[in-house]
Amino acid sequence: MSEPRSISLLGATGSIGDSTLDLIRNDRANWTVRALSANCSAEKLAKLAIEFEAEIAVVGDEACLPELKQHLAGTGVEAAGGREALCDAAARPVDITVAAIVGCAGLAPTMRAIEQGNTVALANKEALVSAGEVMTRLVAQHGTALLPVDSEHNAIFQCLAGNNIDDVRWITLTASGGPFRTKTLEELDAATPSQAVAHPNWDMGAKISVDSATMMNKGLEFIEAFHLFPVGLDRLRIIVHPQSVIHSMVEYRDGSTLAQLGPSDMRVPIASTLAYPARMDTNCKPLDLAKIGELSFFAPDEERFPATKLAREAAHAGGGTPAVLNAANEVAVAAFLAGQIRFTQISALSARTLDNYAPPAPQTLDDVLAVDAEARARAGEMLEIA
């Protein structure tokens, strides 16, 4: 038996957190859990920290610390709260960190995990989209292994293994098309938050579910792919594949296309990062292709779903523009979920924020955070007059 591996999980109480801890639970003897974090959810976080005998539990929102402390009193699990404490916990050395906080809020702790130079399994796409080269430079500087958890990027990563990146002709990201794939613009305009979060294939957190409905998720993933796989923007494309069986594809210059297939269950890509470069068991339902019957593919419709176009343009603009897009989208999604704006206004608000703010390219984490904050402020102002 080999030594247990140590793991920290940022965003332990969310959907990716649940899937990750389910895998650890079924492979318990092989893991030591160091830090678990949440924004608040003190009771759930404490329960998990006790179950997994974590060294420390951290809430990002300091106001939730007293409740966390109360739940952890006498258990031997350390409790901490606030942004700095979250970053400090992320900086504790571990074999692997799973970065699964939602939104740019995960950026600073993810950067701290990258700095300690082991493996970071990245689910938190908004962090990479916002920071771009600021993050990839840090990864290179510290020799960190950055393994993609996002199912598409995990698929691409697997399809690239053993090949030369210079031989890639196309990387094709598949998109389910979300719950509104066949809706008209009029229907989209009337779409409610509960309809938007009801994804046909995947069970995910609210923010990414809305992003899937607007297709901004695929837009963010386009930018994420650009940073993870150095083939250039012109070799990246998106195809709608409603069954979510093929998680993405790589076509090589000889005409061979490699694809990764699997059930719509995030435990599969997460497991591939936890065990990398080996494999581990999961108790996911095996893929039953005969039952699925047919796979279909469609070109994206950017008239009804302009988000992928916005993201492509932001990726071409580079510098701080993707961070502006991400921040505006976070503000817009939160406003939509709170009933403040209509579904179609989400992409419209992002477009207006991009028109309104063209920051210089950020060079440091603080620069990225400053662009993020300014873009949020401007998007917030535009919300008031929307």
Could you tell me which stretch among 24-32, 150-158, 263-271, 336-344 binds Mg ion (CB under 5 A)? 150-158
**For ligand NAD, which residue of 6, 7, 8, 15 counts as binding (CB under 6 A)?**
15
Which amino acid is present at 308?
Answer: T
Per the CB < 8 A criterion, the answer to whether 64 and 81 are in contact is yes
Determine if 113 is a binding residue for ligand NAD (CB under 6 A).
no
Per the CB < 8 A criterion, the answer to whether 120 and 144 are in contact is yes
Determine if 273 is a binding residue for ligand NAD (CB under 6 A).
no
**What whole-number distance in Å separates Cα of residue 14 and Cα of residue 281?**
22
CB within 8 Å of 34: residues ≥ 6 apart: 6, 7, 8, 54, 55, 56, 92, 94
**Helix H or strand E encompassing 227:** helix 216-228
Determine if 126 is a binding residue for Mg ion (CB under 5 A).
no
**What whole-number distance in Å separates Cα of residue 91 and Cα of residue 116?**
6
Phi and psi at 344, nearest 5°, equal -70, -15
Could you tell me which stretch among 15-23, 166-174, 295-303, 345-353 binds ligand NAD (CB under 6 A)? 15-23
Is 71 assigned to a binding site?
A: no
Residues 38-57 that bind ligand NAD (CB under 6 A): 38-39, 41
The binding track of 330-349 with respect to Mg ion, each residue x by CB under 5 A or -, is: --------------------
Residue nearest to ligand NAD (CB): 14
* Binding partner selected for residue 100 from Mg ion, ligand NAD, none, CB under the kind-specific 5 to 8 Å limit: ligand NAD
**For ligand NAD, which residue of 6, 110, 119, 124 counts as binding (CB under 6 A)?**
124
Annotated binding site for NADPH: which residue ranges?
A: 13-16, 124, 126, 205
Q: Which residues bind ligand NAD (CB under 6 A)?
A: 11-17, 38-39, 41, 60, 100-102, 105, 123-126, 150, 202, 204-205, 207-208, 266
